[in-house]
Structure 1
Amino acid sequence: MKLAVALFMMTTFVHARAFSSRAMVAQRHVKIPAPNPLYVIGFVHGCLSELKQLLKNLDVSTDNIVLVGDLVNKGPSSAEVVQFCRLNKIKSVAGNHDMSALKHLKMFDTLAGSKKEKYKWTQQLSLEDVDYLESLPLSITLDGLSCSIVHAGVVPNSASIESNSEFDMTTIRLVTRDGLSAVSKQSAEKEKEKAVNWTEVYDGRFGKIIYGHDAKRGLQNKEKTVGLDTGCCYGGRLTAFEVWSGEICGVYAEKVWCEKSKKS
């Protein structure tokens, strides 16, 4: 009994350590060199087999890989994806699902029902895995290229990438027509003529933006923006974009891992 109590206390201490006074995202905006080639990969969402197959096909060092976030949820192997990315030192920006996983890990003992079932995989994360997720920045700017990687997008007429809020950078889809502020889906449904996709009014002021968080629109390869959410977890593809050449490649999902919701 004493041993069981001690082990429980040790486990609780480890999870408490994982959520110390540090910010959830340690360094919010980073700049890295842009090796040639450099492949940016769309949403993995727990699809480890597809990620491994795509990396095998690309046949480059993991130093030449950046992910667009949402490593976890929906697919079958969320914890394993985090561990794989950490061990292989794969760079990624933070996605809303990654941040949600950290939030629900912290409060796991208070969860119940479907929410607890959804996040039970977080109990497989090591302290090092948690540290990795916490370390993911909101944006990665490529030194030597006029290009930045974010999870969902930016407010088009904002002063700088850094001035964008964490919420906007991980969830934005719609904005006001003047590009000055994000618009929620609920507000957009009430005033459809006043909301547009952020990419439609983005003027390129921060260079090319590579993003995801829009599976309904799928691959969006434009002059100033590239959207890479091609719905691998929904039976679609896991897509990679090579930033120097503009090459696009990918692998098909092994199966439908998750049914699409109306929000997707």
Structure 2
Amino acid sequence: MVTPCASELMDPAAPAHVTLSHEDQRARVVIVGDIHGCYDEFCELLETHCRLTDTIILAGDLVNKGPRSAEVVRLARQKRCLAVVGNHELASLKGVAERKGGASPEAAQLYAWTDHLQTDDIEYIRGLPYTISLPLHGAIVVHAGLVPGVELDQQRPEDMVSMRNLVQLTPVKDSACGASSPENLEHAVMEYDDGSEPYGAIWKCAACGWEAGRGGPRPSCPRSGGISVPPYRGSEVDIAEGIAWATRWTGPTHVYFGHDAKRRLQQQAHATGLDTGVLYGGELTAAILELGKPPRLVNVRAREMYVVPASNKATHPPAVCSTKAILDAISSRRHIFAALSVALAALGIANRQ
């Protein structure tokens, strides 16, 4: 069986970009960072900081890795939350398809939680847009980021769901006018341990979805050969020459995004990163937008560390303690204490029992 790529599983009738009506923006707008299945924290945030009249927008990655992903999706639907698609929503749709078609043992385990999704839950995920614009607030919500210098309808889907950094480009003049610059097309690096697709594959799949009739403009890459090429391309991985995209975003639209838990809360002049690592024992953070008032941030603490961050795993690998190692440690401590007692006795201040 050939499993469809993730973007092909999105609803072809759903728009790629959504603009909220003025009515939906007149009430407070609450933009919530990555939830990752942390249902209890999501409930606490809604109960503590949200009102019934609020428009709630989730910045993608509602699911995966955390303890109760299916329940997060169901609650989001029940509360009529809007949301943008993240890389983990795309990966989960692929996981659903793979489990139905006979997945590998690893994929079967990783996406076992999708068995608890109802049909309406899956349709909710399939219909998510890449961005939600809030013109009254001069803001836009996207999961991962936007590349500076690229119009919204020309942003690549894989950048909007996966990028964290920018890499500066040197434009290449192609022999055929308008041919896509190769440096903008290929960058086959991405996390694989969470079920995500190789970077670059998502763009291909999105193009396939567009051909199948999904709403919105055709996904395309910036082109050289007579048309200006933006100075950057997006990158998922943290490479030496990469820079945080939000530091180069100059507005005027303010971007609210998630995806980058490693950098935690990001507050730039025209961009705010809301993924503060609730999955890793941090916080679930939200931005509250209210007309006539400055935006403010609220959060709730994680109830536990559900996943150990990869950096911690690398820096502090789990200790493997054999019986011999434990006995050696005890013996070593005994020698230390014995030597200390001798030294103290020599100074005449040894404890007397």
What band does the TM-score fall into relative to the shorter chain? Answer: 0.7 to 0.9
2:277 match: 231
Is 1:261 aligned with 2:310? yes
2:340 match: none
Is 1:93 aligned with 2:84? yes
Deviation digits for residues 199-257 of structure 1, max 9, x if unmatched? 1211214x000001111110012220000000001111000111232211110011111
Is 1:120 aligned with 2:112? yes
Rounded to whole Å, the distance in 2 between the matches of 1:129 and 1:184 is 28
Rounded to whole Å, the distance in 1 between the matches of 2:261 and 2:9 is 34
Shift of 1:23: 3.5
2:133 match: 141
Is 1:247 aligned with 2:239? no
- Over 3 Å counting, the alpha-carbon distance change for 1:180 and 1:230 in structure 2 is same
1:212 match: 258
1:111 match: 103
Unpaired segments of 5 or more residues in structure 1? 1-18
- When Rg is computed on C-alpha atoms for both structures, the one with the higher figure is 2
Shift of 1:62: 6.4
Rounded to whole Å, the distance in 2 between the matches of 1:125 and 1:249 is 29
Shift of 1:88: 1.7
Rounded to whole Å, the distance in 2 between the matches of 1:20 and 1:70 is 18
2:17 match: 29
| Partners of 1:177 and 1:201 within 8 A in 2 | no
Shift of 1:184: 4.8
Aligned-partner residue type, residue 117 of structure 1: Q
Shift of 1:20: 9.4
The match for 1:161 among 134, 152, 155 is: 152
- Over 3 Å counting, the alpha-carbon distance change for 1:221 and 1:196 in structure 2 is same
1:4 match: none
Shift of 1:24: 6.0
1:49 alignment partner, SS class: helix
| Partners of 1:25 and 1:137 within 8 A in 2 | no
The match for 1:67 among 36, 51, 58 is: 58
1:66 alignment partner, SS class: strand
RMSD: 2.4
Rounded to whole Å, the distance in 2 between the matches of 1:150 and 1:22 is 17
Rounded to whole Å, the distance in 1 between the matches of 2:307 and 2:262 is 14
The match for 2:234 among 182, 189, 200 is: 182
- Over 3 Å counting, the alpha-carbon distance change for 1:240 and 1:20 in structure 2 is closer
Aligned-partner residue type, residue 146 of structure 2: V
Shift of 1:25: 7.7
Count of equivalent residues: 240
Rounded to whole Å, the distance in 1 between the matches of 2:142 and 2:11 is 19
| Partners of 1:62 and 1:89 within 8 A in 2 | no
Deviation digits for residues 89-117 of structure 1, max 9, x if unmatched? 11110010011101110121321223211
- The normalised TM-score by structure 2 is 0.64
Unpaired segments of 5 or more residues in structure 2? 1-6, 170-230, 314-353
Rounded to whole Å, the distance in 2 between the matches of 1:44 and 1:169 is 18
| Partners of 2:29 and 2:56 within 8 A in 1 | yes
Rounded to whole Å, the distance in 1 between the matches of 2:13 and 2:165 is 24
Aligned-partner residue type, residue 29 of structure 1: H
| Partners of 1:62 and 1:88 within 8 A in 2 | no
Rounded to whole Å, the distance in 1 between the matches of 2:9 and 2:277 is 35
Shift of 1:147: 0.5
- Over 3 Å counting, the alpha-carbon distance change for 1:21 and 1:220 in structure 2 is closer
1:101 alignment partner, SS class: helix
- The normalised TM-score by structure 1 is 0.84
2:75 alignment partner, SS class: helix
Rounded to whole Å, the distance in 2 between the matches of 1:39 and 1:165 is 26
Shift of 1:21: 7.9
